[in-house]
Structure 1
Amino acid sequence: MLRRRQNMDCPVLAACLVSLCLYLNTLDADFAYDDSRAIQKNQDLLPETPLLNIFYDDFWGTPLTHSGSHKSYRPLCVLSFRFNYAFGKLNPWGYHLGNVLLHAVVTAVFTCLAQKVLKRTFATYVAGLFFAAHPIHTEAVAGIVGRADIGACLFFLLTFLSYMKYVEYRTSDQLASHRWIYVVSVYVFAVASLLTKEQAIAVLAVCATYDVFVFHRVKLQEILQLQIFTMSHFRGLCEGLVLLATCGISLVATRIYFMGSKPPEFAPSDNPASDSNSLMTRLLTYHFLPALNIWLLLCPSVLSFDWSMESVPLVESLSDYRNIYTIIMYISIALFAQVIIKQLNQSCRNPILGLKSQMNGNGVQHNTHDGKLNPPNQKSRLIRRESGSSSDSDELDAPSSFTENHCNVLIISLAIIIFPFIPASNLFFYVGFVIAERILYIPSMGFCLLIGEGAEVLYNMCSSPSRRRLVLLAVAVILMLFSAKTVCRNFAWHTEEKLYASGIKVNPAKAWGNLANVWNEQGRTSDAEEAYRNALKHRGNMADVHYNLGILLQEQKRVHEALESYQRAIHYRPKLSMAHLNLGILTAQFGQNENAAKIYRHCADLDTSGLKDPRLHEATKISCLYNLGRLYTEEEEYQVALSVYEEALTRRPSHYAPQSLYNMMGEVYSKMGDLVTAERWYRKALKSKPDHVPAHLTIAKLLQKKKLYEEAEKWFKKASDIDSMDASIDHHYAQFLTETGRHIEAEGRYRSALSKTTPDFELLFNAANAFRQNSKDLDAEDLYRKAVSLKPELPSAHMNLGAILHINGKLAEAERSYLSALKLKPDDSMTLANLQKLRNLMSSLERKGSP
């Protein structure tokens, strides 16, 4: 008995250890791909967010009822992320550790199921090790968002194992009353599976399949004639089916209620076939995709983080060679079905239906050492063992009829492969992806069971030890190849850069676009620009890529190219609010305030329903109102600006921090001369966010206006203490010091500000004035030149440059600068006076230099 227990534990331990070892190299990986939106930007992970929100929001933190929601309802998975956040904030190590440990647990539980289904040690080893090492699992384990698939798989297994125990107890007089414990377990684990990922609800169909075709071995004819509802010996089966149906209907109804009774909306690029007008194209493509998924299970040589955007070309005609794979798949399924139906029709009924053997009064035969149902013909099984005809690896109970057990394995394996895959098949409703490797995590269990059973069959078919060793060698080689592929694939998931680079061959448009974002963040702007353009070569209508390229160009001061990129982004996605916002900002920088105001207003009134990440779009619309208010403030239309800010405060979503709006309200009142009201709004901004630097600066400037210089300087210093690297603080502080006559200190602050940032025109111009006042004329000249290069359209810039050149004795250049200023503003008296003085000086010097 002890030896048997040890033999049962060995496959479980081996598979569990292999799964741990293969994924240890993911622990030092960073966040990648979907992890950013699901974890780093998900408000539901934060402790200040009410815990109940996870039951009303989708996986990405968007309310389920919102039109832009993905409708992915996985509150238990989000709860586990929240647990990670509570202990490690946004350190990815803890999140990866959770995934690796959870995968090891699932591997162990699956191997236990394999023992029950396969009933032989060698087959169990093969199934467990293949599941531990299969490369298709890499995305689920190495990608943190894959925890939903791993967790759902765990509850899937626990539901199925609980139902198997329920069926076993249901047939026993002594234990029948205890079956309700397992009914409760089935319900609890089924609910947990649905709350972890929707796909796992398919376990109820797997349970029903097991009860009907494996345990009761119901014939197809009996189903068609509805005998399962009329014959007395199917009473237990009817009970099980009613329980499963009740559970399933209740869960599906609850799920539909929570998602607002509306299906999710997906972009055509996510699932190109769904956007095709050709019925033939849709049918051929959607029937080919399951075959492609099966191929990924058989030969996972090519894997990718994303399979959208026609990375799998559409099957548009009957002449496409890929239809052969579809035909092979459906022929194989038909052959499997034929074998199963034939075996069910030929096999004897399960022991509970009256086999002559050692049975209790209800016709139930029990295994005396473990409480399990025994198969018939126990004596012949023992004789075969004594004769040595069974496999040396056959330490677990073997069935009397291998053909019957093969049929059982085939039924269970196909049920685990097919039912969980149906929601992702697009055959009944469209989904937002073409292929997702995470989706295959649960179906891969059925595949591994088939591999284990097939390896056992091959092993037993071999009569000579050398051939058996060849089978063992083949299994070992495949396992080593799978393990090596898994380890290599894990390294690809270490960083976003490696991950996206690995996907260029499969999905070049998406891979280049994402890789460009990574390089842009790393400061590799030339590489990033080239990558953006590579992405657009493969797919020119990607609005996000045009928008991100616009940001890169704008940061490089290539404003005209940036404008074109933003306009293209809006052309391909008119609702892209961020592109409208940046387009408005650039338009305002060109001095086209009227056009900028129209852009801001249009953006603020955009209908962003149906868009992903609605929080971002709603916040962007309020930012448009913020910038529109600033525009009116600069034009001294103060009442209009106030009305815009009031509108922004009224429309502000709860997640948009109000302190900037409060501060700008104070700015408007300050410019209107209402300092009391201005201070009230400044204080309100500080109450909303005590470390809000702009509010500190505006209060300081308000006190400066009131001539309360000591108090004003305290606020400038407080702002500097909050963020010592903020150049704007030094800039405003320097202006204050200049006004109070502390010119040397002001110069120091200006130099500090210039060292901390790429200076804008205002900083350069004001610093140049301060340097000039301190007789740092060469430094002032350099800054005036830079200021003119930034805003050559401003006459004051040319005039001041002319003045410093005049002082520095560069008279010819000074004259050109004065003339440039006068060309922009011909009647400027100060420039005219300075030019006259310059020309008098030049004439005087000429006279002195003449003989």
Structure 2
Amino acid sequence: MLDGSGDSKVWAIAGRLHPAWVGVLGALLYLPTARYGLIRYDDPWLIRDNALLHRLTWDGIRRVFFDLSVEQRLQLGAEYLPVRDLSVMFDFAIWGDRFAGHHLTQVLLYAGVCALAATLVLRLLENRGLAWWVGAAFALHPVHVEAVAWLSERKGVLGALLFFGAACLGVRYLRVGGVARLVGCLVLLAASALAKGHMLAGAGALAMCALWSADAVPRRRWTLGSSALGIGALVFVPIYVAGQSVGMVQPYHGGGFLETLALSCTVHGKYLLLMMLGGPYSIAYPVGPDFTNFGLLGLGLLGLLVFSFLTVCAVFQSSRRNAANFGLGWWLLFLAPVSHIVFPLQNLLADRYLLVGSWGLLLVLGLGVVRLPRRSAWVVGLSWLVASTVWSVTQLGHWESSRALRLHAVSVHPSHVESWHRLASQAEEEGEYDQAEAHVAQGLERSANATDRWRLYHRRALILQKQGRIDEAIRWLRVAASRPEAHKAYANLGLLLARRGEIRDGLEQVRKACEYQPRSAHNQRARGIVALEAGEVEEACAAFAEARALEPFNADNHFNLGLCELRRGDDPASEAAFEQALELRPNLVDQVDRARRSAPR
């Protein structure tokens, strides 16, 4: 297979132990996350409150695999990832709402990822010492903390496990053949992409494995490469259709292609720095359309040009193919889907995007380490692993709670509005209104040039509302309701105006909210409430019905629709909605009885 020869004596300590045992390192590192709970960042709505995933039923399985409706996709995170959803269903079947068990599942999956990542090095290069070091470096690298410690990133860890399994089977097929190995490889490849769409890049990685394996039978190389690309193309279709329907593919972040290209190079530079242990690591970095760092831009551009040149030369000249440019090509392949050049995504950059791609750069680094003189190799190799462990343990501590995570984020990126907003939201929910306002004030002070400051104005208004200061809340909501992205501010403004008796003005605001974002259940509920107060019963019922379609497991949506149908005089529809509400939340029985008794006869 590939040539990864070097001073293997340095790694004689590995002996006859299979490098897959590095999975134990990964498990031990992340075992403390078993005492962690949920993070207020997608975990509540995607996992805790997502009733569809709480029961392992045939109907639930059918819906996650075959229901591509906008409403269903929004409920499942605006993506088509049925394998991820199925794994969460199994978690609830095994652990229920004991989320320590969910974290334990995540740790075990990651241990499997590390074991397979090391095994892949061994199968490709037949160098046990190199496989041990790359596997250990992979298991301990701090850029993986986000993917393992955050339950909502189950898709990344599961997708990585399935893909590395596919790659190991694919390489084995290239060596010894076997239809079962080929089929297993392709099935795992498809499953990995249905766990995380990013794994579609794995089709290209398998094609690279085939192309670089010069000693394999040509027919096997062609079969694996073409089959992998074909499966990738087939799986891409439902993923793209679902993502396009819910707006997952965004406009270019930089305003145009060239600006986004420069931004993408800056992001690449940051990724290279993070891979070289240039922390701190965080869920937010000071990189964006309004951010200029010529150092990162230059590093990213240089890396992109050099890596691309070496990889392209190897693709077209077999004599240039080696393990190093294979690793660089692997890195570029898994970078492409999150580079924002092919598909501009919602998030500009994130540690979790590097989970599988990092293997390529660590392979290149490992090749350099094993070629050093014996003493130097030990010093460099162990120093890297120790530094990785220190960074990872430090970053793990930040994931212990939502508050710790966000406080660390604003220490790394002081102008990150979203983190200030979430800190204020958490303090507000805990009744610490002064602390919540302090977070809002700090965020506004440090984000003078941010385009999403409206979030903090919106949060300030909600804090004031909680304290009964309605007039002040309305004033700040009018400031927040300044752009289409602030659609929830329009909805909340409409609700408060109606509460103050300004029904028509309130109705205008909630209609704007639904115009800007009709797929928000919150906006549709607000429109239904205000329209009903305004006597617009037909509009109210339509809005409540849409809210129910968007959030079918929210009992309030069924109850609101029941009230509206009762007002409209449609008793059968009202009773059906009330029954669904009671099925979801039995303690609504008193409210339903009062509504029935108060209905005009």
Q: Based on CA coordinates, which of the two structures has the bigger radius of gyration?
A: 1
Alignment of 1:765-844 (within 5 A): none
Q: Who is 1:26 aligned against?
A: 33
Q: Which amino acid aligns with 1:569?
A: A
Report the equivalent of 1:7: 15
Aligned partner of 1:563 in structure 2 is 474
C-alpha contact 1:211 1:237 (8 A) present in aligned 2 = yes
Q: Which residue number in structure 2 is paired with residue 584 of structure 1?
A: 494
Q: State the alpha-carbon separation in 2 of the partners of residues 312 and 299 from structure 1.
A: 25
- Listed one character per residue, the Cα deviations across residues 134-173 of structure 1 (whole Å, up to 9, x for unaligned) are 0000000001122211111112112112221222234xxx
Q: Could you say which residue in structure 2 is the equivalent of 1:276?
A: 254
- Residues 1:529 and 2:437 are matched in the alignment: yes
Name which structure has the greater RCO, CA cutoff 8 Å, separation 6+: 2
| Residue of structure 1 equivalent to 2:384 | 478
Amino acid aligned to 2:167: F
Cα deviation for residue 93 of structure 1 reads: 0.9
- TM-score normalised by the chain length of structure 2: 0.84
| Structure 1 residues 327-726: aligned runs within 5 Å | 327-330=301-304, 332-333=306-307, 336-337=310-311, 340=314, 344-345=318-319, 408-458=322-372, 462=373, 468-507=374-413, 508-537=416-445, 538=447, 539=450, 541-573=452-484, 576=487, 578-590=488-500, 593=501, 595-600=502-507, 602-604=509-511, 606-608=513-515, 614=519, 617-629=520-532, 631=533, 640=535, 653-654=548-549, 655=552, 657-663=557-563, 685=578, 688-689=581-582, 691-692=587-588, 693-697=590-594
1:52 matched to 2:40: no
Match of 2:110 among 103, 108, 132: 103
Verify the 8 A CA contact 1:26 1:491 in the aligned structure 2: no
Shift of 1:561: 1.9
Residues 623 and 94 of structure 1, relative CA distance in 2, 3 Å threshold: same
1:815 maps to what in 2? none
Does residue 1:122 correspond to 2:129, yes or no?
A: yes
Flag the 1:608–1:63 CA change in 2: closer, same or farther, 3 A: farther
**Cα distance in structure 2, aligned partners of 1:668 and 1:186:** 57
Alignment match, 1:755: none
- Once the two structures are TM-superposed, the CA of residue 665 in structure 1 deviates from its matched residue by 6.7
1:264 corresponds, among 234, 248, 257, to 248
Q: Which runs of 5+ in 1 are unaligned?
A: 171-178, 218-232, 269-273, 347-406, 463-467, 633-639, 670-676, 707-851
Query: 1:231-259 deviations in whole A, cap 9, x for unaligned?
Result: xx845543444333432332334444555
- Summarize deviations over 1:577-601 as a string: whole Å, max 9, x none: x4334323432443xx3x3234225
- Closer, same or farther: CA 646–479 of 1 in aligned 2, 3 Å: closer
Deviation (angstroms), 1:216: 4.8
User: Given that residues 30 and 107 in structure 2 are in contact (C-alpha distance below 8 angstroms), is that contact kept between their aligned partners in structure 1?
Assistant: yes
Q: Which amino acid aligns with 2:42?
A: D
| Letter in structure 2 aligned against 1:36 | P
Residue 4 of structure 2 is matched in structure 1 by none
Offset at residue 556 of structure 1 (A): 1.5
| Greater displacement, 483-492 / 43-52 | 43-52
Name the structure where helix makes up a greater proportion of residues: 2
1:477 counterpart SS class: helix
Kindly state the Cα deviation for residue 449 of structure 1 after the two structures are TM-superposed.
1.7
Deviation at 1:565, TM superposition (A): 1.8
**What amino acid does structure 1 have at the position aligned with 2:319?**
N
Report the AA paired with residue 487 of structure 1.
V
Aligned mates of 1:695, 1:331 — CA distance in 2: 66
**Counterpart code for 1:17:** V
CA contact (8 A) 1:16 1:105 kept: yes
8 Å contact from structure 2 (residues 497, 505) kept in 1 = no
Note closer, same or farther for the CA distance 1:55–1:565 as it changes in structure 2 (3 Å cut).
farther
Give, in whole Å, the separation in 1 of the partners of 2:156 and 2:333: 15
Mapping of 1:54-453 within 5 angstroms?
54-56=64-66, 62-64=71-73, 72-170=79-177, 179-216=178-215, 234-259=218-243, 264-266=248-250, 274-277=252-255, 280-307=258-285, 310=287, 313-315=290-292, 320-330=294-304, 332-333=306-307, 336-337=310-311, 340=314, 344-345=318-319, 408-453=322-367
Are the structure 2 counterparts of residues 240 and 450 from structure 1 closer, same or farther at C-alpha, using a change threshold of 3 Å? same
Looking at structure 2, the residues matched to 334 and 697 of structure 1 have their Cα atoms a distance apart, in angstroms, of 69
Aligned mates of 1:650, 1:657 — CA distance in 2 = 8
8 A contact 1:8–1:115 mirrored in 2? no
Q: Distance in 2 between matches of 1:98 and 1:561?
A: 47
Matched AA of 2:17? D
Count of residue pairs brought into register by the alignment: 573
Distance in structure 2 (CA, Å) of the matches to 1:35 and 1:261: 23
Contact 2:369 2:380 in 1 (8 A): no
CA contact (8 A) 2:212 2:326 kept: no
TM-score, normalisation: structure 1? 0.61
**Aligned in 2, Cα 1:6/1:39: closer, same or farther, shift over 3 Å?**
same
Task: Answer yes or no: is the 8 Å Cα contact 2:525–2:557 preserved in 1.
Answer: no
Indicate whether 1:36 and 2:53 are aligned.
no
Please state how far the C-alpha of 1:453 moved relative to its aligned partner.
Answer: 1.8
- Determine the structure 1 residue equivalent to 2:8: none
The answer as to whether partners of 1:619 and 1:653 remain within 8 angstroms in 2 is no
Give SS of 1:203's match.
helix
Structure-2 change in CA distance of 1:525 and 1:540 (3 Å): farther
- Compared CA separation, residues 301 and 645, structure 1 to 2 (3 A): closer
Q: What whole-Å deviation, never above 9, does each CA across 1:649-700 have from its counterpart, x for those lacking one?
A: 665634263334545776899xxxxxxx999979984785253232344567
Indicate the RMSD between aligned Cα atoms, in angstroms: 3.7
Quote how far apart the aligned CAs of 1:336 are: 4.0
Query: Could you give the per-residue CA deviations for residues 12-38 of structure 1, whole angstroms, max 9, x where no partner exists?
Result: 22x122111111111111211232332
Question: How far apart are residue 107 of structure 1 and its match?
Answer: 0.8
Q: SS of the counterpart of 1:9?
A: coil
Assess, with a 3 A threshold, how the Cα gap between structure 1 residues 86 and 165 changes in structure 2: closer, same or farther. same
Q: 1:522 to 1:456 in 2, by over 3 A?
A: same
Identity score, percent: 18
More displaced stretch, 546-555 vs 98-107: 546-555
- CA positional deviation for 1:189: 0.9
Q: 1:43 to 1:567 in 2, by over 3 A?
A: farther
Is this contact kept in 1: 2:123–2:168, CA < 8 A? Answer: no
Matching residue's letter, 1:555: K
User: How far is the alpha carbon of 1:505 from its aligned partner?
Assistant: 3.1
Distance 1:525 1:605, change over 3 A: closer
Provide the C-alpha distance between the structure 1 equivalents of 2:544 and 2:307, rounded to a whole number of angstroms.
Answer: 61
User: What is the Cα deviation at residue 627 of structure 1?
Assistant: 3.9
When residues 623 and 155 of structure 1 are mapped into structure 2, their CA distance, relative to the original with a 3 A threshold, is same
Q: In the TM superposition, what is the alpha-carbon distance from 1:57 to its structure 2 partner?
A: 6.2
Contact 1:44–1:51 at 8 Å: present in 2 too? no
Amino acid at match of 2:382: A
Query: 2:14–2:128: 8 Å Cα contact kept in structure 1?
Result: no
How far apart, in 2, do the equivalents of 1:256 and 1:75 lie? 14
